[in-house]
Structure 1
């Protein structure tokens, strides 16, 4: 009756008839049959890993043993068959007793042979035997190199190691942050998915998150090796003072009083903004506008798509050296020794006084309502833009401070600091400005004409690290979560590791000597000072006093 019903019933792919009953088969999880067989003799496990289809033993190995037994004399052959047959028919308890007796009677050569043979036989393919979720969880703990090695073990391991969930976890651990286990961090690269709309046979086999990790890994390797492609932009008649860029546009300001807008895809100059009466020293841009500050004491807001000047802000009594903006707030630093906060909607302006020399740079940290400024008076000041009060002064540079950048460093435990700075006591201030529950920056980075780059602890106000390497003043710095790039009057651009503070690579600027100069071989080699720098996920830019802008790309080699 059961057989007749089974003929009429159509079984699914994961069902089978066993002892007259329909049972469910778990094709992806071969461990379901372990109650009837041990791991080594489980037919489902053995067939899944492709070693044998035998129910009770490895057929190839058994055949080899039988061949050796058949070559023995008849009486010895019968004795061996009797021993093996008795062992097979015995239960687990008796088998252990037999093995104990045999091992006790063995000499060292036999024990050595047993050890070498057993070593290979007791290996377990845990990736195949464990549930898929647990196997994937185990693979998530591997680094990139180990995961790629695991994919070479067998087809099943490759399927598991190439699973999109594993590589998604890898991307989460490494992209835009440093992994605490392996120490590697990968650039963001605008988080573009690496899907090919018309995949080839090879690209079809690559899962999306693995392709994303692969692309970023290549870029990170190029950063570390210093392998890049250099592209030049020349469109200014005088030195380049400032630059900013996005994924498709580059903005440069120059002594020639103009702002040049470049298409990064084609390298063409697509627009030039004219209107300032003197050099454009600083600029800021977002998706809607460009804000420029000039040596003519004015701040201008432009629609960079049309080239129209939307508004002009006048209030400084000397050159505007730096601007920054967030939503409806503009901050500016000037040679008149003041920092001004412009509220666009209310049309009000507040002056922050405290510096005694030119204010070379201002930077907003909007999440904590802080503004940082640095000056020729060798100090850095931290301002609260809600109260317009100076909350802290950072002292330590011995030259004019040219740039300040607020940073939020996540892995502070592995941050390398100077030994003499680690013992400095924290500032015991009952009116500590950082007591509010706000996402304050953990550190600030600064550069100066004293040839150094300094890292400061915002909470204590102490300088925790000083980086030496440039032989002349450092005009500009830029940083991301992994690296610092610095441009100096000595004509070099240096790439530093943010975590360790070590100089990774040094790039030479534009030579001031003409190729046909006959005195070039005997005269000292001179290069144009680097006035400004900018850094992105896969590239950095430099601008020099000869009017050249260089783009160093690490994603094309």
Structure 2
């Protein structure tokens, strides 16, 4: 990482953050007097003036000097060691860049060696818990963010200082260097009132709780404010930090804050009092809490786990070679991301301090979420990656924009992902997936493929279920009779005379009676002409078609008239039986019948 001081002299690169302060810091606020600048985060940063001496090369053709330093370092980093040493002799600018590339390589090698050292003692994830009493449970496999999705743009306005928070509702809280907090509506994709104004410095962190109707904002002015999102009034002000407040997190009636002064403070939301103060030796960039623990990451690459009730330090995790910018955890797992390009997986159980797994990125890891054994990371290269926590494999890579702008932060809620970058604010709406939480595992929930044996068993179960619910469902065995027809031989053209006896049996044809014999019998009895069967393809002229349609209509009318006469006779017979006092239920099979309209006067 290329780092320079304001005075123009390159500082010494640290390779182990426990012994010295790490030199990579957040982009300084215009109002901040921090003396350290990160060239990797600012495209417009130039090489110190003392190093911009004239070179033997033509300046108009020296593209390395025309590019931003981080791009120049990336290009020189593609060279081997010998070629890089040759480039250092071109000019003082090239020599400076080549030296920084060599330092970057040494830093990356140290990171890899430390990760391998931490992992070589662990055969697998289960070995990390061999001293603890654990329970084996079935985990669910949910690739919520590996399906198709739609992209909605909240704003495409460029803002390097923009910070956001989304809690899963209909609003997104947005703050920036203008010292105001705005609320964006998800439905209309527009800003909704009120506008929250009152901070004396730029907004550095936000936490929105839409259900309870408030938002917390942390500012460069060292204060934290609680706002009513409906009235716009500032409900409370929390003072106590001596440096810029950089991060916030809320759990029920308590929230936690971290600042550049190295302090982590736990606050009571209702009373406004600071309950506990936890200390780091450098600036705190990220802090999270649940009901029992507080986890924070600092500028020196250290991650500390504290007890939320007593404030006691449980353990300190060492492994990152740059500031820890993001983290996420649950009851068993912890994932941390750093500017060294790694996301590291840890255990939250007991006093285990070993790194269990590492997820490598090409640039700084700026945001993280841990969800259903999935590590979702936002990187400075403009991509969001989804990793399998158990195997370390990358399942999917999402591009937030075509320009490759850094993913400053993102927030996940159900099947939505709200993404903040310096040039735009987006929302990824993924395909809606409904989960049945009453079942043990998703494998029982959805079975994409069934073997033939499973399919047969399912059919048997369905048939038995239908039999129990339906009395009319019966199985019938149908036998089809066959007929044999002997064929007569024609011996006129035979080479042998009629007196010659052959041992070859006479030929015969075996066919179902239903296809030939029975069908002919039925047609003979019904008077149906086989040549007019609708089952075959027949070509008719227009006149023949009219004659056929007329005959069919006349036959249908005659059939309907016959049915009407039969019904009329049945009614008359039933009425006669009724007036004689005889039962008619068994006679008609339909119950009682009203007197026919015709013949009513005849029989009364």
TM-score, normalising length from structure 2? 0.45
Larger Rg: 1 or 2?
2
